[in-house]
Copies of this chain bind each other. A is one copy, B any other.
Amino acid sequence: MTDLSFQQYYQKKLESFESFLHASFQKLPAPVETLEQSMKYSLFAGGKRIRPILMLTTIECSNKNSSFALPFACALEYIHTYSLIHDDLPCMDDDELRRGKPTNHIKFGEDIALLAGDALLTHAFCLISQSAIDDATQAETKLKIVHLLAEKAGVFGMVSGQVADIQNKIHIDREKTLSFIHSHKTGALITASIQIGALLAEVDEDTYNCLTGFGEEIGTCFQIQDDILDQIGSTEKLGKTPGSDSRNETLTFPLVYGLEESANLANTHYDRALEYLKSTNLNSERLREIADFVLKRDH
Residues of A within 8 A of B (CB): 28, 30-32, 34-36, 39, 86, 89-92, 109-112, 114-115, 117-119, 121-126, 128-131, 138-140, 142-144, 146-147, 149-151, 153-156, 159-160, 162-164, 166-167, 170, 180, 184
Contact A111 B123 (CB under 8 A): no
Complex interface: chain B residues within 8 A of A167 (CB):
32, 34
Which of B109, B119, B122, B155 lies in contact with A35, CB distance below 8 A?
A: B155
Closest B residue to A153 by CB, please name it. B122
- 16 further A-B contacts with Cβ under 8 Å, apart from A89-B114, A122-B150, are A30-B160, A31-B156, A31-B160, A32-B167, A32-B170, A35-B163, A86-B114, A86-B115, A112-B163, A115-B163, A122-B159, A123-B155, A124-B150, A131-B143, A139-B142, A142-B143
A122-B121, A167-B32 given as contacts; is B144 within 8 A of A131 (CB)? yes
Which of B31, B121, B139, B149 lies in contact with A121, CB distance below 8 A?
A: B121
CA distance A232 to B225 in the complex (A): 58
A295 to chain B, nearest CB (A): 28
Which of B28, B92, B112 lies in contact with A111, CB distance below 8 A?
A: B92
CA distance A157 to B63 in the complex (A): 40
Interchain residue pairs with CB less than 8 A apart (28): A28-B155, A31-B164, A31-B184, A32-B163, A32-B170, A35-B155, A35-B159, A35-B163, A86-B115, A89-B114, A92-B111, A92-B114, A112-B163, A114-B114, A115-B166, A117-B118, A119-B155, A119-B159, A119-B160, A121-B122, A122-B155, A125-B146, A126-B147, A129-B146, A129-B147, A130-B147, A131-B140, A139-B140
